[in-house]
Chains A and B, each alone.
Chain A
Amino acid sequence: MKLDARCPSGPIEQRWSNHKMDMKLVNPANKRKFKIIIVGTGLAGGSAAATLSELGYQVDAFCFQDSPRRAHSIAAQGGINAAKNYQNDGDSVQRLFYDTVKGGDFRARESNVWRLAEVSANIIDQCVAQGVPFAREYGGHLANRSFGGAQVSRTFYARGQTGQQLLIGAYQALERQVQAGGVKMHTRHEMLELVVIDGHARGIVTRDLVTGKIESWAADAVVLASGGYGNVFYLSTNAKGCNVTATYRAFKKGAGFANPCYTQIHPTCIPVSGDYQSKLTLMSESLRNDGRVWVPTQQGDTRAPSQIPDSERDYYLERKYPSYGNLAPRDIASRAAKQVCDEGRGVGPGGRGVYLDFGDAIKRLGAKVISERYGNLFDMYTTITGEDPYSAPMRIYPAVHYTMGGLWVDYNLMSTIPGLHVVGEANFSDHGANRLGASALMQGLADGYFILPYTIGHYLATAKQPKVTTDHPEFKKAAEDVRARTTRFLAIGGKRTVADFHRTLGALLWEKCGMGRTEKGLKELLQEIPVLREEFWKNVNVPGSDASLNMALENAGRVADFLEFGELMVRDALDRAESCGGHFREEFQTPDGEAQRNDAEYCHASVWEYQGEGATPVRHKEPLNFEFVELQTRSYK
C-alpha cells in the first residue's frame, strides 16, 4: 500500500490556492457525462451532493434513513467554528490552524488543517446565504460563543440546534438539485459493498431496506460520507443507525483505515441510568461557558449538592487548568472526570458522575439569561432525568461521541483506492488524535462545499477510466456476496439477539479500550472479541425475511462489521504505545496524569491494510511533518 499524501509544498498559506491552480478541470459540458455516487447525506455528503450537482455532475445519493434530513449531523448542538474574527479578539486562520493542530495533540496533517481553517469563513457566508438562522446580536450581526480548547470566541450557533440548522440548509440545497434533476436521491438504501474494477472504485451494491431488493450502481467515482464508528461501543451519543459498514466494506476492498484507535469521549453527557439504556445523550460543550464542573472534596460524600459548602467542593478543571478552566479540551476534561470518579469522589447512583453547576451563573446573570442561552438543553436534561438543572446541578459523565479515525485520504480526500473519496467524519484527516468542539460541522461542510468539488474534478479529468455497467462480473460477484451474507444471517436461528451481542461487544470495548487503555487489557480483547464474533455467527437470532423491512437484519449486518472492526481498533490501540489526545495508554502518562506522547516513534498516522479473512492486517505509516507548528507538550494549564 503506497501512502502518497499529495500535499503541496511551499508556504502553507498558499498551498490550497496553488493546488487549485495545479489541478485539472473538467469542462462544464463534460461534467454531465460523469456520474458520482455519494453514500450518506449528512453535512459532508449532503453538501457535496448539492454542490456537485450544481456544477453539472450526475449524482446518485444514498442514505439509510427515510430522508436525507435525518442524518446524524442533525444532532450536533453547540456550534460551528470559523476564523471570522468578528469579535475582534485576535482570531485568524493561523490561530484556528494552530488551535486545531494543538488540540489534535500533533497527530494531524498540517496542510489539511490549514486548508480547513482557510475555508471555514466561506462556510458561514454560504450558510447565511441559504437562510440558516444563526444566533444574532441586537444590532443584527452574528453572535459567537467559546468552545473548548480555544481562547477566542469563534463559534457560530443556532440555539442548541446548530447541526440541525446547518443540515437543513444542506438538505434544502440537495432537494433543490433533486428537483432540478441533477441528484437522484435513494432513501432507505444501505450500501453493503464497494465495487472495485481495475483498481478503481466504480460503484456500490445496496439493499433496499423496504423491499429487500439487492441493487448495483455504477459510476465514475464513489464518495463515502457515512460518518463515524462510535457505535462500536454500543452506548454512545451517536444515533442508533450510525455504523461502520460503508467504510469497513471499503477497507475490506483495499482502502487503508487510519488511526481507528482515535475515539473521542465527550465529557458532558447524561450518565447511564440502567442496563436497558439504548444510547447516551450529550449535553453540549457550550454549557461549559457558564457551568462549573465540580465534585466533593471528600470521598463518598453523599450530601445533596446544595448542602456541600464551597470550601468542600473541588472545581477540579479550574484547579488543574487555570488558563482554560472549565473549557479544557474534551479529552482532558473527560480523563479528569474519570480520575475523580476513580478516586471515589463521583456523584449520583454508582458514583460515575460529576456536577455541572449553573448556580453561580444564575446568581450572576439570572435564570432568564441562562434559559435564553441553554433553555432547550436544560429542558432536554429535565425530560430525560426528571431533575431540574435550574435548582440543582446537572450530573454528567463522559461518553463516546466522535471518532477521529477513519479511512485514510490524501490531500484530495481520496482513499488508497483511486476514485474512492471520503469526506466528513468518515475520513481521518483533520482532527488528529482529538477533535475540538464545534469543529466537526466545520470539517463536514468544508469537505462537501469547498474541497471535494474541486478535487474530485481533478480525479475525473485524469483517471481516464472506461465506462462500466452493472453487468460487469465484479458487480455480479459483489451482489452475490451481499445475498449470501443476508441468507446466512437469517439461517443461523440462534438464541441471542443482535442487540445482546452488540451490548456485550460495547461493554468489553468501553472497559478496556475506552477512556483508559493498557497493554494487558488490549491483549485480552484480542482474545475475547474473536470468541464473541464466533459465537455471533453460530448463535445470533435474526427473525423475519430478507424481502421486506427487517430492522433486525439491518442491525445484524452492522453488528457483524463492528465485531470485526472492534478488533482493528484494539490492534491499533495496542500498536500505538504512547498516549495522545483521546488515546490514553495508562502506561504512558506524565507524573500528573497527562497524556505522554512519543514523537520519536509515533509521529505518524497508522494506516491498516486488510489482508483477507482471519489474517492480521498490516500497519503502514504516513509520517507527519510539522513545519509550521513546533511539536511541544500540549498544555492547558
Chain B
Amino acid sequence: MTTGKTMTLKLHVWRQAGPNAPGKMTDYVANNVNEHMSFLEMLDVVNEELTKTGEEPIAFDHDCREGICGACSMVINGIPHGGHKGVTACQLHMRHFQDGQDIYIEPWRAKAFPVIRDLVTNRSAFDRIIASGGYVSVNTGGAPDANALPIPKKDADQAFDAAACIGCGACVAACKNASAMLFVAAKVSHLSHTPQGKVEAGDRARTMIAQMDAEGFGTCSNYSQCEAVCPKEISVKVIADLNREYIKSSLLK
C-alpha cells in the first residue's frame, strides 16, 4: 500500500572500517526512494541492498527515530542533521529532496568525537561533561513536597527551553572550533533557572567548562552556527547565562 512518488538519488557516503582505519567517500545509487521515507529509512533501503550484494551496510547511530533520543548524528550536504529547522536526521523526510540529487553524508567531525565506524562517532565526552557537574547534588529520598517551593512560570519555561537539549552533538559538528559551548550552556542554563539548581550554579559552570576543555572541544567565538543547526532550537542566549555564571563564580571564588 505504498503511496507517494519515488526518486533516485546519488549518495556519497563516508566509509571508515574502524577508529584507526583510513576513511573515504564512497558513491552509491539509492533507487526507489519514496518521498514519505525518513532519511534513515532511505539508508535502511540502501543497506538492505548492500547486504544482499555482500557488502557491509553503512553504520550509523539511531534509535528512537522520532527526534528525541539524540542518537542519530550525520552531516547531510554539509549541515548537521541536514539543515531543516528543528529537525534531526531521523525526522528529515525525503520529500525535501529532488529526483537525481547528489547527497553527501558524513559523520560529526570533531577531535572530541572520534569516528568509531562510518557515520558512528564516540560522544562519551558529553557524558563526562555532565558527570563533572551537570546535576543537582541531591540523593533520592527526603525531598520536600513538590509544590512547597513555587517556581515562576517564566523561569520554569526558560529552564525547559534549555533542558530540551538531546545531547546529539550537532552544535559541535557545526562549529568551526568544534566547541561544546551550546551543550554545556544548555545544562548550566537549565539548572540555574530552577531554585534547586541555583545553589551550585557557579561551581557547575566552572567544572563543566574545565571538563569541556579537557575533552578537546574548542572555544566559542560567537558565530551561532550551533543555534542554527540545533534540532531543539536552543538559543545561544543560554551561552550568555553560562558566561554570567562562569564569570560571577570566578570572581567570587
Seen from chain A, the residues whose Cβ lies within 8 Å of a Cβ on chain B are: 47, 50-51, 54, 65-70, 72, 74-75, 84, 86, 122, 124-131, 133-142, 158-159, 161, 164-165, 168, 171-173, 175-176, 178-179, 185, 187, 210, 239-241, 272-279, 281-282, 349-350, 379-380, 383-384, 386, 449-450, 453, 495, 497, 499-500, 541, 543-544, 548-552
Asked if A548 contacts B126 (CB within 8 A), the reply is no
* A28 → B minimal CB distance (Å): 13
* B-side contacts of A548, CB under 8 Å: 17-18, 117
Contact A69 B70, CB 8 Å, known A74-B64, A129-B138, A133-B194: yes
Given contacts A130-B196, A185-B127, contact A125 B146 (CB under 8 A): yes
Known: A72-B64, A133-B159, A241-B63. A175 touches B127 (CB 8 A): yes
Whether A497 contacts B146 in the complex (CB less than 8 A), given A51-B140, A383-B93, A548-B117, comes out as no
A-contact bits for B162-186, CB 8 A (1 contact / 0 none): 0110110000000000000000000
Q: Show 26 A/B contacts (Cβ-Cβ < 8 Å), sorted by A.
A: A66-B61, A70-B64, A129-B136, A130-B135, A131-B136, A131-B190, A131-B191, A142-B147, A172-B134, A172-B135, A173-B135, A179-B132, A276-B37, A276-B45, A278-B40, A282-B66, A380-B67, A383-B67, A383-B93, A449-B140, A541-B51, A543-B55, A543-B57, A544-B56, A550-B56, A552-B51
What CA separation (Å) do A277 and B45 show in the bound complex? 10
Q: With A69-B167, A75-B68, A543-B56 in contact, do A273 and B36 touch (Cβ < 8 Å)?
A: yes
5 nearest A-B pairs in the assembled complex, by CB-CB distance: A140-B150, A172-B135, A274-B2, A129-B143, A133-B160
Q: What is the CA–CA distance of A109 and B69 in the complex, to the nearest angstrom?
A: 33
A450: which B residues are within 8 A, CB to CB?
A: 140-141
Q: Which of B18, B44, B95, B159 interacts with A386 by CB under 8 Å?
A: B95
Chain B residues within an 8 Å CB radius of A210 = 116, 122
B22 interfacial contact with A, CB 8 Å: no
Chain B interface SS verdict (over half): loop
| Residues in A whose Cβ lies below 8 Å from that of B145 | 125
Beta-carbon contact of A175 and B130 below 8 Å: yes
Q: Cβ of A179: which chain B residues have Cβ within 8 Å of it?
A: 131-132
Residue numbers in B under 8 Å from A178 (CB-CB): 127, 131
Is B1 among interface residues, defined by CB-CB distance under 8 A? yes
- B residues less than 8 Å from A129 (CB atoms): 136, 138, 143-144, 196
A62 to chain B, nearest CB (A): 14
Is there an interface contact between B67 and A274, defined as CB atoms closer than 8 Å? Answer: no
State in angstroms the CA–CA spacing of A72 and B135 once bound together.
Answer: 21
Query: Which one, B55, B68, B117, B141, contacts A164 given CB within 8 A?
Result: B68
Contact assessment for A135 and B156 in the assembled complex, using a CB-CB cutoff below 8 Å? yes
Number of residues of chain B lying within 8 A (CB) of chain A: 81
B131 engages A240 (CB within 8 Å): no
**B117 with A128: CB separation less than 8 A:** no
> Beyond A172-B130, A383-B91, A548-B17: 8 further Cβ-contacts under 8 Å?
A65-B63, A125-B144, A125-B146, A142-B146, A179-B132, A240-B65, A274-B1, A275-B1
**A131-B194, A379-B86, A543-B56 given; A122·B143 CB < 8 A:** yes
**A159 to B156, alpha carbons, bound, how many Å?**
11
The answer to whether the Cβ of B11 comes within 8 Å of any Cβ in the partner chain is no
- A239 near B194 with CB under 8 A, answer no
Check: B123 CB closer than 8 A to any chain A CB.
Answer: yes
B93 touches A386 (CB 8 A): yes
A128→B93 contact, CB < 8 A: no
Asked if A131 and B146 make an inter-chain contact with CB atoms under 8 angstroms apart, the answer reads no
Chain B residue at minimal CB-CB distance from A69: B167
Q: How far is the CA of A171 from the CA of B165 in the complex (A)?
A: 13
The answer to whether B67 touches A164, judged by C-beta atoms less than 8 angstroms apart, is no
- Chain B nearest CB: distance from A118 CB in Å? 15
Which residue, A66, A282, A497, has most C-beta atoms of chain B within 10 A? A66
On whether the beta carbons of B2 and A273 are closer than 8 Å, the reply is yes
B interface residues with partner A (beta carbon < 8 Å): 1-4, 17-18, 34, 36-38, 40-41, 44-45, 48, 51-52, 54-57, 59, 61-71, 86-87, 91, 93, 95, 116-117, 120, 122-124, 126-127, 130-132, 134-141, 143-147, 149-153, 156-157, 159-160, 163-164, 166-167, 190-191, 193-194, 196-197
Total A-B residue contacts, Cβ distance less than 8 Å: 231
Q: Given A128-B146, A129-B196, A239-B63, is A158 in contact with B41 using a C-beta cutoff of 8 Å?
A: no
B200 to chain A, nearest CB (A): 10
Q: Is the CB of A138 within 8 A of B140?
A: no
Q: Are A277 and B41 in contact (CB under 8 A)?
A: yes
B135 touches A68 (CB 8 A): no
What's the least CB distance linking B48 to chain A, in Å?
5
Pick from B36, B86, B123: contact of A274, CB under 8 Å: B36
Contact call B69/A75, Cβ cutoff below 8 A: yes
**With the chains together, A72 CA to B68 CA distance in Å?**
9
Q: Are B2 and A131 in contact (CB under 8 A)?
A: no
In the bound complex, residues from chain B placing their C-beta under 8 Å from that of A74 are 64, 68-69
A172 to chain B: which residues have CB within 8 Å? Answer: 130, 134-136
In Å, the complex CA distance between A282 and B69 comes to: 14
How many whole Å from A85's CB to the nearest CB in chain B?
Answer: 11
Chain A residues within 8 Å of B95, by CB:
386
Minimum Cβ distance to chain B for residue A36 (Å)? 15
Q: Are B91 and A133 in contact (CB under 8 A)?
A: no
A549 neighbours in B (Cβ, 8 Å)? 18, 59, 116-117, 120
Partner of A75, one of B17, B66, B149: B66
* Selected contact of A176 from candidates B48, B137, B143, B160, CB within 8 Å: B137
B164 in contact with A161 (CB, 8 Å):
yes
Q: In the bound complex, how far is the Cα of B87 from the Cα of A502, in angstroms?
A: 28
Pairwise interchain contact A125-B143, C-beta atoms closer than 8 A: yes
| Known A-B contacts A137-B153, A172-B130, A450-B140; A497 and B123 likewise in contact (beta carbons under 8 Å) | no
From B62, B137, B140, B194, contact of A240 by CB (8 A): B62
